[in-house]
Chain A
């Protein structure tokens, strides 16, 4: 059924909270996502020409890098982009076959690969580019929030988290119930002022992005006059500089 489940208060809304302050853009989340999802619920994921120029494939998570602002206030921000498991997503309602659906019990947006005809309309309807076509199988694929991990009783409880969250070396990714105001993730969003992406589109994303923290004071400027060891051409003087700096 591609009609959306009714929104009831206190409903479970599983999703991710992504910290744009601490993400270092290492691509570990994207890589571990690909590794986990290449088998299981969504597997296999296509990779065409994997060992030559023109390599491409389906990934559920893509890590962009941006520069924001100018001068002292300006900074580099790494930006992972994946399905936001929106509350009112048109990617579900446009689907003609019922393959695309949103689960009532936890709000996860999934594709039933046995029903999908590969029309691509849901990818057009997603403002965030979260759906990529598996052109080998002719069906749409997308982030499942690791549905085959988070409820998997065959793996230790601590590991029942999405692959991207588990692998992030800076703990920039958090997973939990954003429908419960007392959950860890909801508190994090409240504390840090988490933001939705493109709220003007009206899809009500569940995933939230924590803004980069304001640096309280800008670090003192390096003193241009002081030569660095690289500037000292004479090897004897460079050695002296090294000894004296110790």
Chain B
């Protein structure tokens, strides 16, 4: 599948924004985040909004985007839109509560914002997981993957901001735990899609299997088309293997180690370590999200390539 930059940016930025909002909503009312938390909230909302705006760039008619909230009964994309919009309400209320220092409101709004963040990321994951023609997406580990990556990138950002505000080991420890979990999950996912059987074959796609093995003789057209550009993108195996290693090392392992280091040493080195960790984690996630598309294959290509 074609890794459209606007969509890769959207899942990375909004994913991190919702992760940050989730942890902030949960931890700030409990007093586990130093400082007021307004900077973290602002960063979360900026990331979420930038991601959502970028995803509308991918549309053929962005001015009609508002129509996308109408079909929540059947469409996960529609549900994602509804969840994303609704989540703004408790998120902004949380901001108000932190601003005027209203702990009770902060607790309720924080919990609701956290729930909204989970719901939105869950819907995003389901958009992909519900697509049967794409074997690598129609997989039970895809939604947990979206949730885990969002939780991890949010924790990494919160840990960095907490360090700037002068301490708070809890966010850094969360980054360690979620990073390790995300890494394990991703490895299990890659192993599963590498060994998974195809969902269909050129024989079942053409009904001609009863004659024997089927191969393409002539393509239906000699130039490109939308299908080949959108669904035909695939990445050479050797590049995929290298990029997976980079994503695992730079995106997960190093940030986890840096967060661990920060918990142990504290102070200015912790600020530096967590900042570097956040940059690495986001960079690694961009690669991982790009791979998520580039490695996915669509059944229509059976007709073109067998």
Contacts and interface: CB of A to CB of B under 8 A. Distances in A.
B10 to A, nearest CB: 12
A5 interface: no
Contact of B215 (A67, A126, A134, A198): A67
Interface stretch (B58-66, B234-242, B249-257, B260-268): B58-66
A90 B130 contact: yes
Interface stretch (B97-105, B162-170, B283-291, B295-303): B295-303
Contacts of B127: 94, 121
Given A90-B132, A116-B60, A133-B60, A77 B208 contact: yes
Nearest to A209: B207
B194 interface: no
Given A66-B206, A138-B61, A96 B132 contact: no
Interface in B170-224: 199-200, 202, 204-221, 223-224
A54 interface: yes
Interface stretch (A169-177, A199-207, A231-239): A199-207
B120 interface: no
B70 A98 contact: yes
A230 B231 CA distance: 48
A199 B216 CA distance: 21
Given A69-B212, A118-B61, A123 B200 contact: no
A211 B67 contact: no
Interface in B41-80: 58-62, 64-65, 67-71, 73-78
A53 B191 CA distance: 42
B208 A201 contact: no
Interface in A164-199: 195-199
Interface residues of B, number: 59
Contacts of B200: 127, 198, 200-201
A90 B223 CA distance: 28
Nearest to B210: A211
B134 A77 contact: no
Interface in A118-172: 118-121, 123-129, 132-135, 137-139
Contact of B69 (A95, A96, A195, A211): A96
B140 interface: no
30 contacts: A3-B74, A53-B223, A54-B224, A56-B225, A59-B221, A59-B225, A66-B208, A66-B214, A68-B213, A68-B214, A70-B213, A79-B303, A81-B220, A96-B70, A96-B78, A97-B64, A97-B67, A115-B67, A116-B64, A117-B60, A117-B61, A119-B68, A124-B133, A127-B300, A137-B60, A139-B60, A139-B61, A197-B206, A198-B205, A209-B207
Given A121-B127, A139-B60, 20 more contacts: A2-B71, A20-B207, A65-B216, A67-B215, A70-B213, A77-B211, A90-B132, A94-B74, A99-B67, A115-B67, A116-B61, A117-B65, A119-B59, A120-B60, A120-B230, A132-B226, A133-B226, A138-B61, A200-B199, A201-B200
